[in-house]
Amino acid sequence: MQNGIELRIKGKVQGVGFRPFVWLLANRFNLFGDVNNDGQGVLVRFYAPEEKKLTQFLQALQQELPPLAKITALSQRQISASDIPHDEFLIRESENNAMDTQIVPDAATCPDCLRELFDRNNRRYHYPFINCTHCGPRFTIIKAIPYDRPNTSMAAFPFCPQCKNEYQNPADRRFHAQPNACADCGPHIWLSDQTQVLSQYDEAIEQAAQLLKDGKIIAIKGIGGFHLAVDAGNEHAVHTLRQRKHRPSKPLAIMVPNLEYLTALSEAEIRLLSSPAAPIVLLAKDKVPHVAEAIAPRLNEIGVMLPSNPLQHLLLHAVNRPLVMTSANPSGEPPVLKNEDAQSKLAGLADNFLFHNRDILQRADDSLVRAAFDGTETIRRARGYVPDETALAQAIEKPILALGADLKNTFCLARSQRAVVSQHIGDTNNELVKQQLIDNLALFRQIYQFAPQAIAVDCHAGYFTHQRGLALADELQVPYVEVLHHHAHIVSVMAEHNLQGQVIGLALDGIGMGENQQLWGGECLLVDDKTCHHLGGLPAVALPGGDRAAVEPWRNFLAHLQQFVPDWQNWMTRRGIDTNWPLLAKAIERKLNCPPISSAGRLFDAVAFALTLAPHKLSWEGEAACILEAQAARSSFTRQQLDSTNLPELLRNIRMPLKGNQLDLAVFWQAFLTAEGTPEALAFAFHYALAQGLAELAHNMAQQYQCERIVLSGGVWHNQLLRRLCKQALADLQVFSAHAYPMGDGGLSLGQAVIAAAKLQA
């Protein structure tokens, strides 16, 4: 009996046109057999051809992949040919068994669908849900594996005869495209106000475009949630949106119809904007003309994206101008997903609603990235990137569920040599976000058929994620592992770069639980995947009023002055602070609700306030630090090649030298407060002094521990100026920072999972 060959293919191979791709290749090489999807990925069987033909087939299989496909593993074995079709090549029905394949992220409208969308002779002309196997919703419409139409929100829309023919034809671009639909059988759109439907289909797009031109605010249902849209060039309309959303100054993202609305883009920026992920990309303001100043007040960058789905393409084409596209949620709550919730919860925010009737099953916010000097920088990872997997350097023996942090929460599923990090969930101080986290955990476990044998949590016992993790461990009767916050930060970058062994970590953020219940935020650490040793960093300073200090920068200014400046009372008086700061100073002296913390984030707040750049009360996280960086980037120093042997006087005088293994903030503050210079120059001097101090500390530790690899992680490292200055000062060492994941808490769960696995396997 003739032998057969079986190929097991794993990776992003479902929902991307992989089976028709195999079918076409098999016909090209005259192979007989079949292909199907199952929980493991894709299974191909065929009669064994001659060696040369097999080699050619395997080469084509890996070199001519569909746009969204990715093979991560391919194995081959001989089988009996008794059950293989002997006179044709077939595509068999999917099987549902143990899950071991990747789910594909949502992908922006492909060029072929975009051409059809605006082709008057095409039957999908102006159809807002056009898609094919190369684009469209994936992750956001899935509820189970395998990825077939009955397991998606498209199950509610039976095929018309034409769409069914496309779906069943292996030679068609829409073969087994699960969201395939047309105006006759698929979802549709309509425009409404608070009480009634105003228009549908093309008329809804035209009317919505006119309302936007008239300055109205419209809530628009997308792929992973709702947006609030308004004319980005209309100052009054933008201010109205800010007022209604209680968002006085936090930057807003905009969407432009096409790249022609932007200027002087780099190749990297064009590549990111035009990628299938279609993220928000941070661009210099001078590259984004003709938008309101209120979009990103006092900052140097604006978040910009291109349309990522057909509805957005139609609307932007009709309105023909940039639009604000910000998440549609009441202040502090997660974005809404359902039409009825939008109608009720956004009643005070939106004038009108552009709805559709395809359910969103998975929330996915817009991803946020930057084409930085050192490569792509991911600030928020969600739509377009999730749930892509990360290959791990070490195999994980027991499946690990890591719960992440309470702010910018993500969670992570890790097993074998792969990790899947969830989309951005948000800040769990809100009850609705907590519930979304719980719901998403359950859904991921169901989709991935994931049974954790251990739970990883942040060691901060007050975190909701810590408490939820312990409850889940008790419920499942599995062990839990507590992980230091900054250990997880450093190991998340190590996991991304497949680094093993020891590294010197510089972990900078606002706050995280460290050893012996100490609050950390500016640490130099000796780290591997199991251990974390504190080597030095910023000195601990009082955090007056606890969490209130994170939103009132003057409190941090007071704490730093009181600790490091002899005549600090004079500086407080000179600064003209209209609060009862003497009372707070006494609380600091008596250590009343003023825990010590070595926080880089709070240092940035204090410096920004010293330069009168920060308000008394912040309206969004990181506001003071972002304004401080923007000011520093405007300094003439940023355009100079700084030579350490011939530095400008201001940079020579303002320093953070080492005092033992800590940066000496007394030397810094006493020089900084008396220095003469513009706010821009002084802001740059602070960045330069901090970078040089950290680099000196890292050099010393690298030499002491014979370790040439430096890892930067923690949210403060999203400061591009600080990162560039520090990397320049460490140019003689190997320096790593995150690219695929956020350096802030959004990447934390990946590090937690790797650490927990290493500790359990030790």
Say how far apart CA 308 and CA 313 lie, in whole Å: 7
- Segment holding 741, helix H or strand E: none
Last residue of a domain, one of 41, 57, 91: 91
In a domain, 721, yes or no: no
Same-domain pairing of 57 and 193: no
* Predicted local distance difference test score (pLDDT) of residue 68: 87
pLDDT at 145: 74
Please report the pLDDT score of residue 172 as a whole number: 92
| Interstrand relation of 218-221 and 480-483 (parallel, antiparallel or unpaired) | unpaired
Check residues 3 and 600 and name the one with the higher pLDDT: 600
Please give the tally of structural domains in the chain.
3
Region 136-142: what's the mean pLDDT?
94
User: What Å distances lie between residue 231 and 252, 297, 666, CA to CA?
Assistant: 12, 17, 49
- High-pLDDT (> 90) share of the chain, %: 82
Indicate the burial class of 567 (C-beta count within 10 angstroms; 0-12, 13-18, 19 or more). Answer: exposed
Buried b (16+ CB within 10 A) or exposed e, 570-600: ebbeebebeeebeebbeebeeeeebeebbbb
Q: Same structural domain for residues 84 and 212?
A: no
> Would 391 be classed as within a structural domain?
no
96 pLDDT exceeds 70? no
Q: What is the three-class DSSP state of 221?
A: strand
Among candidate residues 94, 93, 22, 91, the one with its CA nearest the CA of residue 62: 22
Residue 525 domain-assigned (yes or no): no
Q: Which tokens sit at 621?
A: 């996280």
Distance between CA atoms of residues 128 and 358, nearest Å:
11
Which domain-ending residue is among 327, 356, 385?
356
Active site residue 97: no
**Pair 663, 693: CB distance under 8 Å:** yes
Pairing state between β 709-713 and 734-736: parallel
**108 vs 441: CA distance, rounded Å:** 26
Q: Given the residues 8, 37, 77, 516, select the one marked as catalytic.
A: 37
Mapped onto helix, strand or coil, the DSSP state of residue 613 is coil
Q: Which residue has the higher pLDDT, 704 or 68?
A: 704
Poorest-pLDDT segment among 23-32, 656-665, 716-725: 23-32
* Tens digits of residue pLDDT in 17-60: 888 899 989 999 988 899 988 878 899 998 878 888 888 999 99
Please give the C-alpha separations between residue 497 and each of 94, 624, 668, in angstroms, as whole numbers: 35, 31, 35
Q: What is the mean pLDDT of residues 552-580?
A: 90
Question: The CATH number of the domain where 64 resides is what?
Answer: 3.30.70.100
Q: Is the dihedral of CA 357, 361, 365, 367 positive or negative?
A: negative
What's the 3-state SS for 33-56? EEEEEECCEEEEEEECCCHHHHHH
Tokens representing residue 274 in the block: 């035009």
Query: CA 258, CA 269: separation in Å to the nearest integer?
Result: 13
Check pLDDT > 50 for residue 1.
no
Alpha carbons 335 and 438: distance in angstroms, whole number: 16
Do 334 and 198 share a structural domain? Answer: yes
- 33-38/41-47 β-pairing: antiparallel
Edge-to-edge, what's the strand order for the sheet holding 480-483?
Answer: 412-421, 389-402, 454-458, 480-483
Torsion angles phi and psi, residue 617, rounded to 5: -135, 130
HEC-encoded secondary structure of 383-406? CCCCCCEEEEEEEEEEEEEECCCC
Q: 674 vs 762, which has greater pLDDT?
A: 674
Q: Is residue 69 part of a domain?
A: yes
Counted residue by residue, the chain has a size of 762
DSSP-based three-state secondary structure for 625:
helix
Q: What CATH number did the domain enclosing 276 receive? A: 3.90.870.30
Question: What SS3 class is residue 727?
Answer: helix
> Packing angle between helix 665-674 and helix 553-564, nearest 10 degrees?
110
Which range among 132-146, 247-261, 646-660, 748-762 shows the weakest confidence by mean pLDDT? 132-146
Residue 424 resides in a domain = no
Tell which phi-psi region holds residue 732, choosing left (phi > 0), alpha (psi between -120 and 50) or beta.
alpha
Average pLDDT value for residue range 301-306: 98
Per-residue pLDDT at 37:
83
- Residue 748 pLDDT level (bands cut at 50, 70, 90): very high
User: In 118-225, where does DSSP find H-type helix?
Assistant: 161-168, 201-213
Spot the catalytic one: 8, 19, 169, 320: 19
The per-residue pLDDT for 49 is 83
Q: Which domain holds residue 15?
A: 2-91
Q: Which pLDDT value is given to residue 97? A: 57
User: Percent of the chain scored above 70 by pLDDT?
Assistant: 99
Q: Residue 523, SS3?
A: strand
Question: Mean pLDDT in the chain?
Answer: 94
Q: What is the 3-state secondary structure (H, E, C) of 450-504?
A: CCCCEEEEECCCCCHHHHHHHHHHHHHCCCEEEECHHHHHHHHHHHHCCCCCCEE
pLDDT in tens, 525-546: 999 999 999 999 999 999 999 9
pLDDT at 98 over 60: no
> Which is nearest to 716 in space by CA: 700, 694, 733?
694
* pLDDT at residue 90 tops 70: yes
- Residue 37: active-site member: yes
What pLDDT score does 578 carry? 75
Confidence of residue 93 (pLDDT cuts 50, 70, 90): confident
**What pLDDT is attached to residue 209?**
98
What's the mean pLDDT in 163-169?
94
365: tokens are 């916010």
Query: Count of CB atoms within 10 A of residue 235's CB?
Result: 15
Q: How far apart are CA 36 and CA 270, in angstroms?
A: 37
Check if the beta carbon of residue 366 is closer than 8 Å to that of residue 335.
no
Give the model's pLDDT for residue 472.
97
Determine the Cα–Cα distance for residues 121 and 203; give it in Å rounded to an integer: 19
Q: Give the contacts of 626 (CB within 8 A, at least 6 positions apart).
A: 299
Contact 91, 34 (CB under 8 A): yes
What's the pTM?
0.94
Convert the pLDDT of each residue in 309-327 to its tens digit: 999 999 999 999 999 999 9
Do 346 and 201 belong together in one domain?
yes
Q: Is residue 289 part of a domain?
A: yes
Tens digit of each residue's pLDDT (9 = 90 or more) over 429-473: 999 999 999 999 998 998 888 999 999 999 999 999 999 999 999
Say if residue 553 is preceded by a cis peptide, omega within 30 of 0.
no
Which token pair is 394? 């070490």
Q: Is residue 344 part of a domain?
A: yes
Max Cα–Cα distance, the chain, nearest Å: 96
Domain assignment present for residue 213? The answer is yes
If pLDDT is split at 50, 70 and 90, which confidence band does 572 have? confident
3-state secondary structure of 444: helix
pLDDT at 101: 65
Buried b (16+ CB within 10 A) or exposed e, 485-497: bbbbbbbbbbbbb
- Average the pLDDT over each of 42-51, 162-171, 593-602 and give the range with the smallest value: 42-51
Does residue 402 surpass a pLDDT of 60? yes
The model's pLDDT over 603-660, given as tens digits with 9 standing for 90+, comes to 999 999 999 999 889 999 999 999 999 999 999 998 888 887 889 999 999 999 999 9
Final residue of a structural domain among 309, 324, 356: 356
